[in-house]
Structure 1
């Protein structure tokens, strides 16, 4: 591993472009600055082109400067992890599917407003990406719709979320023919969700693939826009429907056997949650 002091000297020199000013900022002699650069160049090759009143980085110098930034970011992350006992300072990282994410995000913002020292990092992602992100330690917490069986994970139930058949306000849906007249507004999980719910509501019907298409969007917050304008129907998780800004323009068709998904909270089992992550879960438990 390269000497951290040498790296600090090099990154400061690249920023200031001057040996004298670098030495002054770092409280070193100019000879020490030169020595640090020479030792790096002995290991990595030429890093600087020295011109009168100007320094230019070589390609190796540019690569080393990028490496310095990565080391600095890693050091910052290490400090945050080592300060995990502080429940009111530092980063909170959560990755979740879109529907529950829409419901969570306003509460996460309120948490951050209540505790300004907390910084919430939230990402929307499908189950496969959630699982990988938590296993690779890119996010401390994740939510899944399918319960994992990986022994590296701690898994607990977080919430339940029914699937809902959503149609334009004022529209009557009593039969499969009513759905055919409306058409299906699809989304990335739409076919699978609709097949699960509609097969129970309308047993013996041809199936969702036989329905006319009324559009497609991959943005979960936009799925109900065409529905609200009378352009079709969709099947979505409840939290996505509850987050829609104009609920008076849509309605949920009740009846029949429900399809309810369990949302699972995951984190790495080998070490305890940080105090700030525990604070976030305590906060969210008041809403979910």
Structure 2
């Protein structure tokens, strides 16, 4: 590791264009600044070409200057990450289920575009992976559908996911026979979600297992593609339905009292959130789309 003072002197010489001005800027003698640069050149080779009234960087000098600039940026990111002052500066990492992730991701991109000092890292993952990533400190924030029973994790209610019965545009779903005729588009949580919701809409039904399956996908963004093409119906969270681009090709069916799942925001309990994470959470909680009292 190079002496920080030597690096500051070198950067000042480059920025000021002369050893004299660099010394004045740093409050040092010119001899001290020259000695610092000489120490660096003893280790790294020639860094500067001294010309009358001009200093030119060698390739090694350019490389060292880039290193110093990278180090300064990294130090700035570290300070922002460790600061608990609420700020739109620094890195935030978030891992979430696919359904709400589809709704979140464009919002996160907008935040990052409008706040140049903010960097957001997001990953789609099921509950077990999201919980483990937060516990292992790979992600600062997580969203899960089941409240963790783990003393290492702090959890607070974030928003609700409402389950919806989605059919091709214009399709009828008045009775169980209509669903049998349409066929079911399944997904990893499809049968569990359908069982819970369809018991409200069709009490006493013979069970999801009696429905013909017309398709399956494990990609939440693609579940509504076969539905939009008339290949069947499905049951998914509202956030996923609202993120589907071809809304005119699908319809939702009223199912009485909504079936709601709470999404829990989690982070490690032993330390507070970074300032950037606090900033992001405050803004997400304020969005109408994620209000917990949102009308069904």
Interval of TM-score (by shorter of Structure 1 and Structure 2): 0.7 to 0.9
The reply on whether 1:142 has 2:145 as its aligned counterpart is no
Residue matched to 1:12: none
The reply on whether 1:252 has 2:252 as its aligned counterpart is yes
Q: 1:193 to 1:28 in 2, by over 3 A?
A: farther
Q: Deviations over 1:143-199 (max 9, x none)?
A: 011111211111111001110000011111111110000000011111111111112
Cα distance in 1 for residues equivalent to 2:84 and 2:140: 11
User: 1:180-259 residue pairs with structure 2 within 5 A?
Assistant: 180-259=180-259
Deviation of 1:275 after TM superposition, in Å, equals 0.6
Cα distance in 1 for residues equivalent to 2:116 and 2:226: 38
Residue matched to 2:155: 155
User: 1:28-43 residue pairs with structure 2 within 5 A?
Assistant: 28-29=42-43
Q: Deviations over 1:219-274 (max 9, x none)?
A: 11110011011110000000000000011111110033321000110111111111
Q: Is contact 1:167-1:234 (8 Å) kept?
A: yes
Residue matched to 1:177: 177
Residue matched to 1:127: 127
Cα distance in 1 for residues equivalent to 2:83 and 2:255: 51
Specify every segment of 5 or more residues in structure 1 that has no aligned partner in the other structure, as ranges.
6-23, 31-71
Q: Is contact 2:86-2:279 (8 Å) kept?
A: no
Deviation of 1:26 after TM superposition, in Å, equals 5.5
Q: Is contact 2:81-2:276 (8 Å) kept?
A: no
Task: Name the Cα RMSD after superposition.
Answer: 2.4
How many residues align structurally?
226
Q: Is contact 1:111-1:283 (8 Å) kept?
A: no
Deviation of 1:106 after TM superposition, in Å, equals 1.2
Cα distance in 1 for residues equivalent to 2:229 and 2:105: 26
Q: 1:25 to 1:90 in 2, by over 3 A?
A: farther
The reply on whether 1:91 has 2:77 as its aligned counterpart is no
Q: Is contact 1:162-1:258 (8 Å) kept?
A: yes
TM-score, normalisation: structure 2: 0.71
Q: 1:29 to 1:242 in 2, by over 3 A?
A: closer
Residue matched to 1:286: 286
Q: Is contact 2:82-2:274 (8 Å) kept?
A: no
Q: Secondary structure, in 3 states, of the residue corresponding to 2:151?
A: coil
TM-score, normalisation: structure 1: 0.73
Deviation of 1:81 after TM superposition, in Å, equals 3.8
Q: Secondary structure, in 3 states, of the residue corresponding to 2:129?
A: helix
Deviation of 1:206 after TM superposition, in Å, equals 1.7
Residue matched to 1:82: 82
Larger Rg: 2
Specify every segment of 5 or more residues in structure 2 that has no aligned partner in the other structure, as ranges.
3-37, 45-70, 291-296
Cα distance in 2 for residues equivalent to 1:206 and 1:90: 53
Q: Secondary structure, in 3 states, of the residue corresponding to 2:157?
A: strand
Q: Secondary structure, in 3 states, of the residue corresponding to 1:147?
A: coil
Deviation of 1:200 after TM superposition, in Å, equals 2.4
